[in-house]
Amino acid sequence: MSDTDVQAFARAWQAGWNSHDLDRILAHYSDDVLFHSLKARAVTGSGEICGKAALRAYWAQALVAQPDLLFTVEDVFAGHEMMVITYRNHHRVLAAETLYFGLDGLVNRAAACHAE
């Protein structure tokens, strides 16, 4: 991905999350996405979520639990067929999402890490 592409993706990713519209958020992800997160483990019992339907269910719970959720992108890093977005949430907690893209341009693997 070019620097322009990752910047555009990060803006769209932030806007999707800040809209709280699950369809808009999930539009970036493939049907067979694999997502890793310690926060998911606390909610679902597993730190690994397989598939868009399961990710939708997890994120729907997160949005209901945090109606004031807001992400502010801090920085964006481009890599080969992947990128990292660092951001702060509405509580100013720093987090990073590592996103890997398939040939279709959709995220097929992702991991979220949060500062505690």
Assign 43 a pLDDT band (cuts: 50, 70, 90): confident
What percentage of the chain exceeds 90 in pLDDT?
Answer: 88
Say yes or no to pLDDT of 103 above 80. Answer: yes
Q: Calculate the alpha carbon distances from 49 to 31, 72, 75, 76 in Å.
A: 12, 24, 25, 24
pTM over 0.85: yes
Task: Write down the pLDDT at residue 42.
Answer: 83
Tokens 């555009």 sit on residue: 8
Any idea where the domains of the chain sit in the sequence? Answer: 3-114
d(CA 68, CA 54): 23
Task: Write down the pLDDT at residue 68.
Answer: 95
When the candidates are 3.90.1150.10, 3.10.450.50, 2.40.50.140, 2.30.30.30, the CATH number that belongs to 3-114 is 3.10.450.50
Task: Write down the pLDDT at residue 79.
Answer: 95
